[in-house]
Amino acid sequence: MAIAFTPKTTAGIGKVILSARNLHKIFKTPEGNDLLVLDNINLELAEGEIVALLGRSGSGKSTLLRCLIGLVSPSSGEVRYRNRLVTGPMPGMAMVFQSFALFPWLTVLENVELGLETQGIPEGERRRRALAAIDLIGLDGFESAYPKELSGGMRQRVGFARALVTNPDVLLMDEPFSALDVLTAENLRAELLDLWEARRIPTKAILIVTHNIEEAVLMADRVLILSSNPGRIISSQQIDLPRPRDRNDPAFLATVETIYRAMTAPAAAFTGATAVAIDHDSLGMRLPVVEVARVIGLIERIDAGPDRGRSDLPALAADMQLEVDDLFPITDAAELLGFAQVREGDIILLPEGVKLARSDIQERKMIVAEHLMNRVPLVAHIRRVLANRPDHRAPRERFLVELEDFMGAEEAERTLDTVIDWGRYAELFEYDVREERLRLPENGG
Amino acid sequence: MRATFPDTGVLRPRLKLTPWDVVVVPLVIVVILLLTIAFQGAAQPFDAATPDLTVSLDPLNLPYYGLRTVFRMFLAVLLSLLFTFTVATLAAKSRRAEVVIIPALDFLQSLPILGFLTVTTAIFLGVFRGSLLGLEAASIFAIFTSQVWNMAFSFYHSLITVPRELREAAAVLRLSPWQKFWKLEVPFAMPSLIWNTMMSVSGGWFFVVASEVIAVVGRDNDQYLPGVGSYIALAIEQADIAAMVYAGLTLLVIILIYDQLIFRPIVAWSEKFKFEQSEAQEVAQSWMLRLLQRSGFAGSLSAIGAVIRRRIPTFPVSEAPGSRVEAQSESRAIDRVLDRVWYGFVIAVTLWAVWFLATYMFGPGLGFENGRVLAANPNVNTDLSPEIARQFATFGVTANPDQTVWLSDVCAATAGGTQVSAELAALLRHERVNVPDDLVAACAVPMAPAGKVAWSEVWECLWLGLLTTMRVVLWIGISTLVWTPIGVWIGLRPRVAQFVQPLAQFAAAFPANLLFPVAVVLIATYALPQDLFQAPLMILGAQWYILFNVIAGTVSIPNDLKEAAQVLGLRGWAWWRKLIIPAIFPAFVTGGITASGGSWNASIVSEIVSWGSTTLTLSGLGAYIAYWSTGEFNPHVGLGMLIMGLLVLAFNRLFWRRLYLLAETRFRLD
């Protein structure tokens, strides 16, 4: 399937600046296995549009961005910028980083000027343009400050100034607001949109990577949704709402709802969740990395919510102040354990979930234990191995090696840690960090 | 208005003087003058006709000697920085260079530093023929080898750990490799490099003192390069207590000046390079830095520097894409071929080097002849006395330039020990000549070629190495037991720590060899057991690293952790076991590694100590190397160095590295 997600021809949107064709990215795990991170990505970024790349953590959206800007080479396929093949960072493209990536030993002014130094712009011109960028982005008075003297919001302003000072054609942003607190992020986002709307920056197109659905809907003309493991573009949503956009506008809410649905559609869901049905016995089932306490907290919340046992996901996320990255693993886990079901942007408690929500702590542990044994092959496997050993102990390494047959080393570590956390909660087994060994509880569990 | 140069003042900085320049301008002039004087002294002619170099014990000479010593130290640091910036960078940038450089550095840093002096003297004398610079270079090189390794390692480590996000930012901004090096990599490595340079210099004073007296082949007497180190050596030889005190005071002043005028300003300045997200509570201060920053003169100097830097043409503007950040995962076929060629070449060179070293040490038969192990061929002129060497020469036994007389040569001159004249027999019975009683029998046994070592000497050397190892372990252990409680006591009292910490660092810098004679006098006068009183000399200078690291570790224990321990009622041994030991462990390991490296090196000077005519020798590998450092590199000193290097390497790998890993993984407090 090779759908090219090209922009619809609407007014103000012009020719394609940046495009990716049949892009694949494969990482080698330390064991020498191939890990497909990006699968057949086709996209185009045209003049005059802001495109948001939306996906959960682990969907490869940051890798895709790095392929587009030329930091990372695709395993196959190609990226073109104004018809030139991208083989490394190109002049005309700028990037804003999640962690700001400022040089701590340079002042604000020096950081901003750095972007111009490579362009051979003479000293005076450089200074003038840097000061203009600093002024534009609201940093006047901080020219001689070092980044560590600044708050997070001000640091990201420096990040923007450094990117914008080169008058980039395309601005690529990697979760630029996610390291900031809610208010600062809101403020900076609005200012950037103002600059864009008023054409005060020469930038022709912006691509923003985010996991925040509201942010995507607030900013973008088009939202591309990336699935996880491997990353594939599964949906493209055009957003034609007038700007500035109002979060309480019913049309806005409807768009958010649509995107939630798209992201919770079976194909998009965490592969682990779908794997339950397809491939129940596989040890290599990927587990959502989430603590048991959060799953139970979520279930309690839904049970106690106004619609008793059913909840709208966007509303639930807003209510719990969670973003996609936080919320989806929890709902995935709830689904995986058979406590709830996600349907069209809603989450519905199953009878077992209701029972869990209304039990006391000991009963809960027993319910979770039962569900873990029935629904997570790895848990059952660990129990079996421990029970078969005369001393009921086994080193962590033993299971890790087994898991590495199915996934990369990091993924295996994460999966095993998650399972250990769940198993400990349910008192199915114990774990000694010092010896890195699992064992059955003393009383036999 | 010309758009290109908006501020002409930037281009032609006018000299704007401030009141602070009353101090700064004369200071700069004095420094330049002193450097000139020192260089003139070092560049004097020195050849076969020059009389032996010596120093005078008149304390009035000490300022000049101090200047010469500081000059050497200064050049050694410059050299170390040059080496660090080139070799460590190469190792970090090229995978192929890395596989050679890193193990080589690891081995070189394990070798006993003072052994290098014998290796290099002859080379440098040849390079700077007819000039004193040859001897100076040998001394500077010895100091260099004591400083460079940890600096190079720290720089290499920094370069390979530059945060990914910064590398990406540099790539997106399309910085050229040159710009990236100076704008990103060097600043990132700066704090750790400066810290390691400080540690290096602090350790370097010890070696300055030990490397200014140099034995030169072809001269009967040692050469005393003008410097505090040779002043001390002469004072020890002549048992002059007053001179020792003057020398100690001079070193005290030198180290103080070095610290205040150079290192404190640099450390305070380097605060800005620290890669941290928030401002530190305590920032290093330096009055000197403030002085320089307020001085108009210094400001103008740096402005001139900036103008020059701007005038250097930058790289042409390029529309070409920048470089990617990731390593190419799929290497090309040509790369794999080149890799094989390169590794093959490296292995071949290594094998050749091992073979070369082995034949150099053992001779062509590698210590065997006709399947039999050769016996040792000892040097009969045990004290390397030029006098005795001359007497041997009258009997047709030619002595070597370094005064050694080999048993095989004696045998050859006496037809296997059968034709010994009465005069020669008298010489052979001399108390400073060591010849087997039964010369004929000894000559009958096939022995190693003259000057080469035999396998029996290898085993002896290993045994000596074991003795020295045991001393190092014992005294590191004892000083740990002594200084840990004291360091913790101090560290828990911030006021005391503030006062003691600089003192401990200073004590670490102060060359402990100055105090060795005190031990000699005490041991000789009261007939004290050597093993108990001479052996601890090797830890004398190194123990402070344990102390100040323990203090630093204790100071950094978070308050809430201490309070939690108090609330939980942790007391006595439980308090140590649950709180203090785990919390200070990483800092202790850092100190322990430095201290053990220091005491290995110190063993060469502490196993043979003297005062006047009294010389005390403790049998060990250090004494063995010191004995064989005759002014010319020889198979025996090579053997000693090799064995010490291997022992230190093994000790670090088997002991310290494990503790270090443990500290990194289990006991980190962040």
Q: Is A10 on the interface with B (CB under 8 A)?
A: no
Residue B640 contacts residue B603 (beta carbons within 8 Å): no
Q: What is the DSSP letter of B374?
A: P
Provide the phi-psi class of B308: left if phi over 0, else alpha when psi is between -120 and 50, else beta. Answer: alpha
Please report the pLDDT score of residue A53 as a whole number. Answer: 94
Q: Is A407 on the interface with B (CB under 8 A)?
A: no
Please give the single-letter amino acid code of residue A292.
Answer: V
State what percent of residues in chain B have pLDDT above 70: 90
Q: Is A95 on the interface with B (CB under 8 A)?
A: yes
Whether the per-residue pLDDT at A205 is higher than 90: the answer is yes
Please report the pLDDT score of residue A20 as a whole number. Answer: 93
Q: Are residues A322 and A383 in the same domain?
A: no
Binning pLDDT at 50, 70 and 90, where does residue B5 land? very low
Give SS3 for B372: strand
Please report the pLDDT score of residue A171 as a whole number. Answer: 94
Contact B322 A66 (CB under 8 A): no
Q: Is A249 on the interface with B (CB under 8 A)?
A: no
Residue of B nearest to A147 (CA): B277
A240 is a domain residue: yes
**B170 burial type by CB count under 10 A (0-12 exposed, 13-18 middle, 19+ buried):** buried
Please give the single-letter amino acid code of residue A154.
Answer: M
Contact B171 A88 (CB under 8 A): yes
Residue of A nearest to B178 (CA): A118
Please report the pLDDT score of residue B443 as a whole number. Answer: 81
Please report the pLDDT score of residue A282 as a whole number. Answer: 66
Give the 3-state DSSP-derived string for chain A, with helices as H, strands as E and coil as C.
CCCCECCCCCCCCCCEEEEEEEEEEEEECCCCCEEEEEEEEEEEEECCCEEEEEECCCCCHHHHHHHHHCCCCCCEEEEEECCEECCCCCCCEEEECCCCCCCCCCCHHHHHHHHHHCCCCCHHHHHHHHHHHHHHCCCCCCCCCCHHHCCHHHHHHHHHHHHHCCCCCEEEEECCCCCCCHHHHHHHHHHHHHHHHCCCCCCCEEEEEECCHHHHHHHCCEEEEECCCCECEEEEEECCCCCCCCCCCHHHHHHHHHHHHHHHCCCCCCHHHHHHHHCCCCCCCCCCCCCHHHHHHHHHHHHHCCCCCEEEHHHHHHHHCCCHHHHHHHHHHHHHCCCEEEECCEEEECHHHHHHHCCCHHHHHHHHHHHHHHHCHHHHHHHHHHHHCCCCEEEHHHHHHHHCCCCCHHHHHHHHHHHHHHHHHCCCCEEECCCCEEECCCCCC
Contact B326 A125 (CB under 8 A): no
From A357, A385, A408, the end of a domain falls on A357
Contact B173 A106 (CB under 8 A): no
Contact A89 B322 (CB under 8 A): yes
Q: Which residue has the higher pLDDT, B603 or A308?
A: B603
Whether the per-residue pLDDT at B320 is higher than 80: the answer is no
CA atoms within 13 A on the CB side of B329: 16
Beta-carbon pairs below 8 A across chains A and B: 111
Contact A95 B3 (CB under 8 A): no
Which one, of A313, A71, A321, lies nearest residue A174 by Cα? A71
Which residues from A are below 8 Å from B323, CB to CB?
88-89
Q: What residues make up the domain containing A382?
A: 376-439
Interface probe, candidates A148, A171, A173, chain B, greatest B C-beta count within 10 A: A148
Q: Which residue has the higher pLDDT, B64 or B533?
A: B64
Whether the per-residue pLDDT at A278 is higher than 50: the answer is no
A363 is a domain residue: no
Q: Is A173 on the interface with B (CB under 8 A)?
A: no
Contact B326 A71 (CB under 8 A): yes
Q: Is B190 on the interface with A (CB under 8 A)?
A: yes
A249 is a domain residue: yes
Q: Is A115 on the interface with B (CB under 8 A)?
A: yes
Average pLDDT, chain A: 84
Whether the per-residue pLDDT at A331 is higher than 80: the answer is yes
For chain A, how many structural domains are there in total?
3
Radius of gyration, alpha carbons of chain A: 24
Residue B451 contacts residue B403 (beta carbons within 8 Å): no
Residue of B nearest to A171 (CA): B172
Average pLDDT over residues A163-175: 92
The B residues from 50 to 89 touching A (CB cutoff 8 Å) are: none
Which residues from A are below 8 Å from B191, CB to CB?
none
Binning pLDDT at 50, 70 and 90, where does residue A442 land? confident
Condensed to tens digits (0 to 9), the pLDDT of residues A46-88 reads 999 999 999 887 778 889 999 999 888 898 999 999 989 998 8
Taking every pair of Cα atoms in chain B, the longest distance, rounded to a whole number of angstroms, is: 101
Tokens linked to B539:
């830890």
Which one, of B404, B413, B407, B361, lies nearest residue B382 by Cα? B404
From A230, A263, A296, the end of a domain falls on A263
Contact B172 A103 (CB under 8 A): no
A55 is a domain residue: yes
Q: Is A444 on the interface with B (CB under 8 A)?
A: no
Give SS3 for B610: strand
C-alpha distance from B106 to closest chain A C-alpha (Å): 26
Condensed to tens digits (0 to 9), the pLDDT of residues B595-612 reads 888 888 888 888 888 787
Beta bridge partners, B616, equal: B609
Q: Are residues A302 and A249 in the same domain?
A: no
- Poorest-confidence range of A154-158, B438-442, B553-557? B438-442
Of B7, B172, B176, the CB nearest to A71: B172
Chain center to CA of A177: 13
Which residues from A are below 8 Å from B317, CB to CB?
118-120
Please report the pLDDT score of residue B15 as a whole number. Answer: 61
Report d(CA B396, CA B160) in Å as an integer.
61
Which one, of B11, B189, B207, lies nearest residue B85 by Cα? B189
Q: Are residues A89 and A184 in the same domain?
A: yes
Average pLDDT, chain B: 81
Condensed to tens digits (0 to 9), the pLDDT of residues B209-256 reads 778 888 777 777 788 888 888 898 888 888 888 888 898 888 888 888
Please report the pLDDT score of residue B310 as a whole number. Answer: 61
Q: Are residues A84 and A161 in the same domain?
A: yes
Average pLDDT over residues B95-122: 79
The answer, yes or no, to whether the previous bond of B191 is cis (omega within 30 of 0) is no
Report d(CA A296, CA A301) in Å as an integer.
8
C-alpha distance from A38 to closest chain B C-alpha (Å): 16
A220 is a domain residue: yes
Residue of B nearest to A27 (CA): B329
A369 is a domain residue: no
User: Kind and range of the H or E element at B373?
Assistant: strand B372-373
Contact B319 A91 (CB under 8 A): yes
Which one, of A224, A225, A156, lies nearest residue A192 by Cα? A156
Q: Are residues A139 and A64 in the same domain?
A: yes
Which residues from B are below 8 Å from A101, CB to CB?
165-166, 168-169
Q: Are residues A209 and A244 in the same domain?
A: yes
Condensed to tens digits (0 to 9), the pLDDT of residues B481-503 reads 999 999 999 888 888 887 887 78
Which one, of B22, B19, B17, B11, lies nearest residue B296 by Cα? B17
Please report the pLDDT score of residue A277 as a whole number. Answer: 37
Q: Which residue has the higher pLDDT, B295 or A159?
A: A159
Tokens linked to A22:
């049949």
Binning pLDDT at 50, 70 and 90, where does residue A269 land? very low
Average pLDDT over residues A200-217: 91
Binning pLDDT at 50, 70 and 90, where does residue B79 land? very high
Tokens linked to B644:
């010490």
Which one, of B597, B596, B581, lies nearest residue B474 by Cα? B596
Please report the pLDDT score of residue B6 as a whole number. Answer: 42
Report d(CA B470, CA B596) in Å as an integer.
12
Residue A239 contacts residue A221 (beta carbons within 8 Å): yes
Q: Which residue has the higher pLDDT, B620 or B287?
A: B620
Q: Are residues A380 and A333 in the same domain?
A: no
Q: Which residue has the higher pLDDT, B617 or A33?
A: B617
Classify strands A205-210 and A50-55 as parallel, antiparallel or unpaired: parallel
Residue B390 contacts residue B667 (beta carbons within 8 Å): no
Whether the per-residue pLDDT at A230 is higher than 90: the answer is no
Beta bridge partners, A341, equal: A348
Q: Is B327 on the interface with A (CB under 8 A)?
A: no
Q: What is the DSSP letter of B368?
A: E
Tokens linked to B585:
């462990």
The B residues from 522 to 561 touching A (CB cutoff 8 Å) are: none
Average pLDDT over residues B273-291: 65
CA atoms within 13 A on the CB side of B636: 26
Interface probe, candidates B4, B7, B172, chain A, greatest A C-beta count within 10 A: B172
- Poorest-confidence range of A256-260, A368-372, B149-153, B332-336? B332-336
Whether the per-residue pLDDT at B313 is higher than 70: the answer is no
Contact A95 B316 (CB under 8 A): no
Residue A114 contacts residue A162 (beta carbons within 8 Å): yes
Whether the per-residue pLDDT at B2 is higher than 60: the answer is no
From A357, A387, A414, the end of a domain falls on A357
Binning pLDDT at 50, 70 and 90, where does residue A407 land? confident
Residue B629 contacts residue B117 (beta carbons within 8 Å): yes
Average pLDDT over residues B621-642: 83
Q: Are residues A229 and A115 in the same domain?
A: yes
Residue of A nearest to B319 (CA): A91
Q: Taking the alpha carbons of A385, A390, A393, A398 in that order, is the dihedral positive or negative?
A: negative
Q: Is A351 on the interface with B (CB under 8 A)?
A: no
Report d(CA A111, CA A123) in Å as an integer.
14
Q: Is B168 on the interface with A (CB under 8 A)?
A: yes
Please report the pLDDT score of residue B316 as a whole number. Answer: 54
Binning pLDDT at 50, 70 and 90, where does residue B397 land? confident
**Residue A344: CATH number of its domain:** 1.10.10.10
Average pLDDT over residues B105-124: 77
Q: Are residues A149 and A212 in the same domain?
A: yes
Which residues from A are below 8 Å from B3, CB to CB?
122, 124-125
Task: Give counts: helices (H), strands (E), chain B.
Answer: 32, 6
Condensed to tens digits (0 to 9), the pLDDT of residues B410-445 reads 888 777 777 777 777 777 777 778 787 777 777 888
Q: Are residues A252 and A338 in the same domain?
A: no
Q: Are residues A433 and A323 in the same domain?
A: no
Average pLDDT over residues B157-184: 88
Could you give the C-alpha distances from A392 to A369, A378, A387, in angstroms and in order?
18, 17, 6
Residue B404 contacts residue B630 (beta carbons within 8 Å): yes
Of B4, B171, B315, the CB nearest to A71: B171
Q: Are residues A187 and A89 in the same domain?
A: yes
Of A28, A73, A106, the CB nearest to B324: A73
Condensed to tens digits (0 to 9), the pLDDT of residues A87-143 reads 888 888 999 999 888 988 889 998 998 878 877 778 888 899 999 999 988 888 898
Q: Is A35 on the interface with B (CB under 8 A)?
A: no
User: Kind and range of the H or E element at B209?
Assistant: helix B186-210
C-alpha distance from A293 to closest chain B C-alpha (Å): 25
Q: Is A32 on the interface with B (CB under 8 A)?
A: no
Tokens linked to A367:
């319910």
C-alpha distance from B25 to closest chain A C-alpha (Å): 28
Architecture per CATH, domain B455-665, reads as Orthogonal Bundle (1.10)
Report d(CA A13, CA A9) in Å as an integer.
7
Residue B187 contacts residue B71 (beta carbons within 8 Å): no
Report d(CA B41, CA B213) in Å as an integer.
16
